[in-house]
Chains A and B, each alone.
Chain A
Amino acid sequence: MISRAKHSFRLAVLMLLAAATLLMSGIPVSAAAKLAGQWMLTINIPEGPNSSTNRTLVLNMAVSPRNGSLHGRVAITDEAGRTVSGAWRQVGKRASIAFEMPCPGDVPCASVILLGKVKGGGFVIKNGTVIVMWDTPNDRNPALYDTSNGSFRGDRLQ
């Protein structure tokens, strides 16, 4: 009986130590599935409207906390150092990020919506869906502009 109590006590102490270590490491334990923080996004989308060739964008995304609101802001920086703003929302694991693509000016530009689930304890977004709405009008598309789909992955940096 006494040894079982000792065992339980030791287990509780170990769990407390583990929790304290996680808290001190700065990893957002309580916000395990939250989006706020620094992310690297790898986005695969067509090169342009109606293109069958894909391109990969690697973007850094700084996600500000929502501070009690339903929405928060993001700052997205591409490999050329261009930074754009965006907005995000999240319910449970499901997150959505909307932004205007950073464009150099000589390629078709677009608005981008990312939809994905924050998984892995808040450290990864796998198999996310991308909606791209290009700047080219298209009366036959219900969006009235060309749209494309793509995929993305997110990896938490901080």
Chain B
Amino acid sequence: MSRSVRFVALLAILSCVTQASGGRSTAVVQEERTLAGEWIVRSTPIDGKLTSPKGITLGFPDRDMVFEQQGDLRTGVVLREDVGQDVRPLGTWRVMGDEFSTAFQLWCPDTNGPCGSIVMRGKFVRDDKINGTMTAFFDVDDPSTPSGFDTWTFSFAGNRVAPAATGGAK
């Protein structure tokens, strides 16, 4: 085999390898992230703010969060067995690329006290690692905030401890 033929053959092989590896990396990038599964989420204050401007706090417990997807319905539940077997705040979620959002209701057994809702905004560091911020909107008027409600934000980091349940969606 002449040198020129060998050179052309080598170029062809290199071209094929490049195209194949390029295609594989594209496939990895396009794979959609999912929150489905069980996560342990640890929260920490931002700038030392332990309470909302109106003095309300949720504390900083580790949260055992389970997310599920059945068809279009994406649900979430926080398992607060440290507080009680039946304490299971509910929520929902969505994913946009490497970022996600969830909305939860707070669990307020004291009907005379303030309650509220939580929005989590975060990103996937890896498939099994997330971080971001949680924003609490308490049902207490606060004209100083744009929303008009007492608003408190803190940060969180989470690790996946179990994959999505078998039989469910991804």
Contacts and interface: CB of A to CB of B under 8 A. Distances in A.
Interface residues of A, number: 39
A25 interface: no
Interface stretch (B25-33, B108-116, B160-168): B108-116
A122 B135 CA distance: 31
A85 interface: yes
Tell me the dominant secondary structure on chain B's binding face: strand
A42 interface: no
A99 B103 contact: yes
Contacts, number: 122
A96 B111 CA distance: 13
Interface of A: 69-73, 75, 82-89, 91-92, 94, 96, 98-100, 103, 109, 111-113, 115, 129, 131, 133, 135, 141-145, 147-149
Contacts of B139: 94, 96, 115
B133 A144 contact: yes
Contacts of B137: 113, 131, 133, 143
Nearest to A103: B94
B96 interface: yes
Interface of B: 53, 72-75, 86, 88-94, 96, 99, 101-109, 111, 115, 117, 119, 121, 133, 135, 137, 139, 145-149, 151-153
Given A87-B104, A111-B101, A111-B119, A70 B109 contact: yes
Contacts of A75: 73
B92 A85 contact: yes
Given A89-B105, A98-B91, A84 B151 contact: no
A86 to B, nearest CB: 5
Nearest to A81: B72
Nearest to B155: A144
B149 A84 contact: no
A73 B103 CA distance: 12
Contact of B91 (A87, A96, A131, A143): A87
Nearest to A101: B94
B90 A131 contact: no
13 contacts: A70-B107, A70-B108, A71-B105, A82-B72, A87-B89, A91-B108, A91-B115, A100-B74, A113-B117, A133-B137, A143-B151, A144-B153, A149-B146
A139 to B, nearest CB: 11
Nearest to A146: B146
